[in-house]
Structure 1
Amino acid sequence: MSETDPFTADVVAQIMRHMNEDHAGDSRMIVQALGGRPDAESALMSGMDAEGIDFVAVVGGAEVPVRIAWSERLTERIQVRREVVRMSDEARGILGMAPRDGR
């Protein structure tokens, strides 16, 4: 955590673990629709900071880094969930998928 990045390494690790264990499908959709990799076969979160989220996508059998900026600079952990939900909903729309219930 620093003046420029309010998220500690342990917070990032917790968010990453949750995303990769419970939301790998959402990560793939986000990378396909918002990360400029419509050919991504899979994607896992690899990091994040106050400015954006990082993924490692598999494209044609090779790992490719993908960074996507948040809609605004984040300063609190609760904002991360909101941004990921927003990205997921936006990605679903771009990919022509129905919105999820309860979001």
Structure 2
Amino acid sequence: MATADVITPEVSTRICAHMNDDHAEAVLMYAKMFGNATMATAATMDAIDPEGMDLTAQVDGAATTVRITFDHTLTDSEDAHQTLIAMVKQARQKG
């Protein structure tokens, strides 16, 4: 089993690339449900850190920066993974 990595800028870049490439629908849900960008039509994850994530959401054709703070400070990349999954489940329940 792989060990979890501390969330460095390199790890942030890796997580963001994965989320944007493979989970664009989830990133859009984060923007809508947790970032108050309810009118967003698309979103990309720009950065993730232990306190939260920075997204760029497309709202009415304009790029809008969205900061989402996590409900706890992330300890490592595995914590980030589990937290992002939990947030998708929560967004689906609300939506």
**Structure 1 and Structure 2 fold alike (TM over 0.5):** yes
How does the TM-score come out when normalised to structure 1? 0.83
User: C-alpha separation between the residues in 2 aligned to 1:73 and 1:89?
Assistant: 19
How does the TM-score come out when normalised to structure 2? 0.90
Moved over 6 A (4+): none
Residue 25 of structure 1 aligns to a residue whose secondary structure is helix
Percent of residue pairs identical: 33
Q: Which amino acid aligns with 1:89?
A: K
Query: Is residue 69 of structure 1 aligned with residue 66 of structure 2?
Result: no
Structure 1 residue 54: deviation in Å?
1.1
* Counterpart in the other structure of 1:28: 28
Number of equivalences: 90
Structure 1 residue 52: deviation in Å?
0.3
1:1-103 superposed matches below 5 A: 6-95=6-95
Structure 1 residue 75: deviation in Å?
1.6
* Gap regions ≥5 residues in structure 1: 1-5, 96-103
* Gap regions ≥5 residues in structure 2: 1-5
Q: Deviations over 1:19-42 (max 9, x none)?
A: 000001011011111110110000
